[in-house]
Amino acid sequence: EDFFGGSPELKAMVEPLDDEELRKMRRGGHDPQKVYAAMNAAVQHKGQPTVILAKTIKGYGLGEAGEGRNISHQQKKLNEEELREFRDRFDIPISDDEIDETPFFRPSPESEEMQYLKARREALGGYVPERKYRFKRIESPKKETFQRILAGSHGREASTTLALAQVLQTLLRDKEIGDRIVPIVPDEARTFGLDALFRQYGIYNHLGQHYQPVDYPGLLYYREATDGQLIEEGLTEAGAMSSFIAAGTAYSSHDCPMIPFFVYYSMFGFQRIGDLIWAAADQRARGFLVGATAGRTTLAGEGLQHQDGSSQILASLVPTIRAYDPAYAYEIAIIVRDGIKRMYEENEDTFYYLTLENEPYAQPEIPDQEGIEEGILNGIYKLRPSEDPGALTRMHLIGSGAIIREMLKAQTILREKYDVAADVWNATSFSQLRRDAVQADRWNMLNPDKEERIPFVKEAFVREPWPTVAASDYARLNGEMIAQWMPNDYFVLGTDGFGRSEGREALRRFFEVDAECIALASLTRLRKLGMIDASVVISAIEELGIDQEKPNPLSS
């Protein structure tokens, strides 16, 4: 009366049932007939979605051992009495003599249950789940496709974010793969220079455009269309990442390989939707994640909410991600072409992460030097060797992303003021260098009778074991990824701490990754090794205008 009496309709439904039948009634989510009836009703209903609310009980079937109790997740085993109760409740044909051994029960092959399960497995393609890779392969674009980008900007200033927009436009125009490119932005496409895609390719909207945008008279107005190619989800990185996963797994789900480029504020990627990025890796998604407006000192004026100094480190922890921090447009073209080749032509289980900045500077032509593409893809190459070092003190400087320009300035300071000849190296990926080194170490451990493998980063420096200073626009952990394989004295600068609302010059001085701080760090290492006198370092602090009492960015 108390349980069913509140509803006359419900009371009428249970009136014919006796006490035993009432006792055996199950909650809806545990009653196969109710679940089937609900699912059947949902399938038959047309015109609108259906929500099925299935009520279940935590620890269902465990009885006194844990049914409906918060300890269910901690219950590791049942005693004999609890096992008997469980057996009787579900009519499992195990005798009292056997129950103490907790045996598994398997119905006979001829039983209705096994016949049904067998038929379902056959319909699903077999007993062992497998990932099918029988999809149409895509031939990667030829190097000449990116010739305009590889040639540099001819003195015009452009950011690496805008360079990616050029790469995207080049791919979208490609007759072979253009219709497979899926540009995705959660918001602020104009910030990333992607508004040029609005007019020509359109923003996808399944209803089309039913309003006139405020920028309609302009050339690059906000154009939505049912056949639009750009996906703009609105202010939701989670929704945009879900679109990336859908497009990035289409090669295996639908035999329709798509190439998504998800472009977003880099701070709002791994830090905000890291779980979805991990899910993408788990599902073997492919494509390009692009953390635009990246770098803790490069995105000026936006404080600790937006300034990213961690995403390269977080990306290094995802096993199938190849993470890069390119400084120049030609590096982006080389990396994107390599990515398409690896993922869609060679069927490699990987996807890419690129951090790009909004700082404009002249984009140089790709250097004409042997092995530069190999260096870009493996993670490091010599960008500018010192000129005529003669008998000068020697050093290496390793920069990454936008900080490479500070390294080039530091090279000049060291040469002109302190007679130190430094070679400048561009580290496109500390994490790729680390992975290569870890794999080499593992191979050497398991193959002591074979010739030792030398990590790429060690091979690069072993013949010139000079002191080395590295810096990036990320926390020091980024540069420290390769520390144990460097065959020389190695010191890392980085942007540990919270962001600040300031200009780039002030930010780089605050985080101590500007040219002057790099030069000071270099002189400090040389003094530690006894290669110069301490008085040189003391004088340099004053000459370079460095405040010894400035706040520590890590703790302020």
DSSP-assigned states of every residue in 164-192: HHHHHHHHHH-TTTGGGEEEEESS-TTTT
Reference 225, options 201, 197, 205, 245; nearest CA is 205
Summarize pLDDT for 476-513 with one digit per residue, the tens.
999 999 999 999 999 999 999 998 899 999 999 999 99
User: What confidence score (pLDDT) does residue 73 get?
Assistant: 63
User: What confidence score (pLDDT) does residue 10 get?
Assistant: 84
H or E segment and range at residue 351: strand 351-355
User: What confidence score (pLDDT) does residue 192 get?
Assistant: 85
- Measure Cα distances from 21 to 10, 14, 18, 528 in Å: 15, 9, 5, 86
User: What confidence score (pLDDT) does residue 450 get?
Assistant: 97
Specify which residues 395 forms β-bridges with.
422
User: Is 145-194+230-362's fold the same as 386-543's?
Assistant: yes
Number of Cβ within 10 Å of residue 190's Cβ equals 14
Give me the residue spans of the domains in the chain.
Answer: 8-123, 145-194+230-362, 386-543
Contact indicator for 302, 268 with CB cutoff of 8 Å: no
Distance CA 407, CA 519 (A): 9
Q: Say if residue 153 is exposed, middle or buried (CB neighbours under 10 Å; 0-12, 13-18, 19+).
A: buried
Distance CA 375, CA 150 (A): 16
Contact indicator for 65, 82 with CB cutoff of 8 Å: yes
> What's the fold here for domain 145-194+230-362?
Rossmann fold (3.40.50)
DSSP category for residue 344:
I
User: What confidence score (pLDDT) does residue 75 get?
Assistant: 67
pLDDT lower than 70: segments of the chain: 1, 71-73, 75, 132-133
> What's the fold here for domain 386-543?
Rossmann fold (3.40.50)
Summarize pLDDT for 337-372 with one digit per residue, the tens.
999 999 999 999 999 999 999 999 999 999 999 999
User: What confidence score (pLDDT) does residue 382 get?
Assistant: 98
Phi and psi torsions of 546, nearest 5°: -95, 125
